[in-house]
Amino acid sequence: MLFIIMWATSFTPKAWKISNTILIDKSKGDETEASSYRPIGLANTLYKLRTRQITNTLHEYAEANSILSTTQPSFCRQKDTIHQLENVIIARRCQTLSQ
């Protein structure tokens, strides 16, 4: 119910928009160099749930109204990087054969 009210009022608590950044050592290179660390943002759990809800709602709307391009399968269910890579390889083979 909280998320529905937040959706209707376009309100998100400021505290939810703040994340803590933790640096994780990559175990490569000099420990005194910033490039030796990977930043990880730790966001509020309720905020992550809310953004997931918004993403799912917008995705369902986009799919139902044929807004998403078939050439950009990102974030589509049952379509991943492997399928897109296969499509690129097939397209290049076809292009090579036609030349």
The answer to whether 51 and 45 are in contact (CB under 8 A) is no
From CA 51, how far away is CA 88, in angstroms rounded? Answer: 31
Q: What is the pLDDT of residue 76?
A: 63
Phi, psi angles (nearest 5°) of residue 37: -125, 150
Q: 25-83: per-residue pLDDT in tens?
A: 887 777 778 788 889 989 899 999 988 888 888 888 888 888 877 666 655 666 667 77
Longest dimension (CA), the chain: 59
Helices 2-9 and 45-64: crossing angle in degrees, nearest 10, is: 70
* DSSP reduced 3-state for 94: helix
Q: What is the pLDDT of residue 70?
A: 66
Would you tell me how many other CB atoms lie within 10 Å of the CB of residue 35?
9
